[in-house]
Amino acid sequence: MSRPGTPPADDPGAAGHGPRRLAGAAVRSLTRRIRLRQGMSRVRTGFWPIVQASAAAGAAYAVAHYGLGHDQPFFAAVAAWVCLGFSFDRELRRVAEVAIGVAVGVWMGDVVVHLIGSGWWQLTVVLLVSALLGRFIDRGPLLVTQAGVQAIVVVGLPAAVAAEGAIGRWTDALVGGLVALAVTLLTPDDPRRRLRALAAEATTELADTLESVAHGLRDQDVDELAAALVRGRASEPVLADWGQSARKSAEVSRVSVNRGQHVDILRLADQAVLVDRAMRSVRLLARRAPTVVAADGTWPDVDALAALVESFGEGVRLLADDLARGGAGTESQARLLDVAAQADPHVLGHGDLRVGSLAVLLRSPLVDLLETSGVEPLPAREALPEL
């Protein structure tokens, strides 16, 4: 436990640098653990899409090899993998755009290599023509991008993949695109599943941060408060991923087969904004918490505040479970309403303005998370005691 104002050791330099080195090592260790947990979470959410895309690439290669008699159907596997990618964002139009773009790029590259050979100026020509043809076929940027990329590959590496002649590479790409479309049609996915997993992960990060703040206050440990701030900052990629994925899914659901899920996806997008805003407020709380310590290293009475922050974290953890299930969130809502009713700076501060100022910082994230749980904005604000 580290507290400001600790008497120096015999060697002032060692007393100063030693704790700083230990604190730095602890922060680095915490950051590694957070990144490891987030990495494992990404593996879990991406496992099934990657399995599907890998199997589709292998199936496309097998179809072109055994069905069409091609020795090295390189572009069949490439087209299938590129079309499906490694996430659940497989809207049919997007997959079709990529499939057509790959086929157009391979076809144009084949034509150029067959007629005028390969080289730097041939590559320039095929890229120009493929991109313009892609723009003519459709407005989708993915189609144009893939048309250009695949044309570059064909012109740049003709010897490695030209065993089947010009038409062979184009049919390989066509096979890969068709396999990807078949996988998309036969294994439709609910985008809300991934969004709920991201919501649960991000909200759990917020609960962990709140509980770390509570432990730091209860144990009067500024190192733990610093760790809470590190934890909150390390959650930014997860929160950003949730928000970006929700906005993208909301746009796609307006015009896709998932139109019936549009309202739910919009709600998840709004919840991502609210949780991100709450995390920013909690980071501010962690940063400001050490300021309550007096110059002589003594702490005011923060026990009531620490208990409320811990209860707040428990309510947020319940909210994470509700978001993962897509439920109504009645249990988490009740816990958060109870915490909000106790968030009175006058009571929590016991007349100490420093502690009262920290209690004030709890009010904004409480409103945000009450709204996340389903409480309307006005009742959420009214749940707080008047100042």
- Tell me the per-residue pLDDT of 108-155, one tens digit each, with 9 for 90 and over: 777 777 777 777 787 788 778 877 877 777 666 666 776 777 677 777
* CATH architecture of the domain covering 190-382: Up-down Bundle (1.20)
Q: How far apart are CA 223 and CA 229, in angstroms?
A: 10
Residue 269: exposure state from Cβ atoms within 10 A (0-12, 13-18, ≥19): buried
Amino acid 379 reads P
Long-range contacts of 217-221 (CB under 8 A, 24+ apart): 217/289, 217/302, 217/305, 217/306, 217/309, 218/302, 218/303, 218/306, 218/307, 218/310, 219/1, 220/1, 220/3, 220/299, 220/302, 221/1, 221/2, 221/3
Q: What's residue 203's pLDDT?
A: 93
Rounded to 5°, the CA angle 98-99-102 comes to 80
Q: What's residue 336's pLDDT?
A: 94
Q: How far apart are CA 292 and CA 149, in angstroms?
A: 58
Say yes or no to pLDDT of 334 above 80.
Answer: yes
Q: What is the mean predicted confidence (pLDDT) over 232-261?
A: 75
**pLDDT grade for 278, boundaries at 50, 70 and 90:** very high
Say yes or no to pLDDT of 158 above 60.
Answer: no
DSSP secondary structure string, 175-243?
HHHHHHHHHHHHS---HHHHHHHHHHHHHHHHHHHHHHHHHHHHHT-HHHHHHHHHHHHHTHHHHHHHH
Annotated domain spans of the chain: 45-186, 190-382
**pLDDT grade for 2, boundaries at 50, 70 and 90:** very low
Q: What is the pLDDT of residues 62-82, one digit of tens each?
A: 988 888 888 878 778 887 887
Phi first, then psi, for residue 349 (nearest 5°) are: -85, -15
Amino acid 89 reads D
| Structure-token pair, residue 356 | 């009262």
DSSP secondary-structure letter at 119? S
Q: What's residue 103's pLDDT?
A: 76
Query: Between 246 and 188, whose confidence is greater?
Result: 246
Q: How far is CA 122 from the centre of its chain?
A: 41
Q: What's residue 91's pLDDT?
A: 63
Q: What is the pLDDT of residues 335-384, one digit of tens each?
A: 999 999 999 998 888 878 888 899 999 999 999 999 999 899 999 999 99
Residues of the chain above pLDDT 70, percent: 79
Q: What's residue 370's pLDDT?
A: 94
Provide the whole-model pTM.
Answer: 0.65
| Structure-token pair, residue 140 | 């989708």
